[in-house]
Structure 1
């Protein structure tokens, strides 16, 4: 068995990862669960991204499989039903989590946008 390859990603938008702010276009190694701001570059990253997306219930466009049953009660992430989020809302929630190191909970999209904008102003980004 070959040594585990480190997952490498391209940063798609300014992201706070490992106590660093990474500008768009940065290439980083990251062994955590990749969010929507990270684009996989190598095989290890693609596998981690696929696993993270499945865990979140995001199905890639090319595989139109049936969504998993929602009544198994296993995937309680503390928010609303993850399958009702739009792509934009999921991305915003991810950004919020990366900026504040906590989930936005039941905040609505507008509130999340405002908080992110305020925080970015404070950080000067």
Structure 2
């Protein structure tokens, strides 16, 4: 891999196994992945829980990454939009099943609603892939 990705976690900032404070990417091209909901390949919502939808949204991101010869190791930033009233801990637990411990830079937001009816989560990703 020609891309060098460094997770930046200064000693004077709080540590978390869930995310990095910053990510430095050198080399490669930037891939911007649009917001993914928990929609399966057949067009149906993966379930009516935050956990099921989070798993599917991340599987969708992994499928896109695979298409360009990349993996979650190439992801430098996730932005996660969670519907109001959902327990973020359920989404985090579900993400561990699919995503593992790849602690990239993450921003999570609680929003009133999402554009897709029935969607409880939407996840955007930025990755740096080989040039």
TM-score (norm 2): 0.23
Higher relative contact order (CA 8 A, sep 6+): 2
Structure number having the greater strand percentage? 2
Structure number having the greater helix percentage? 1
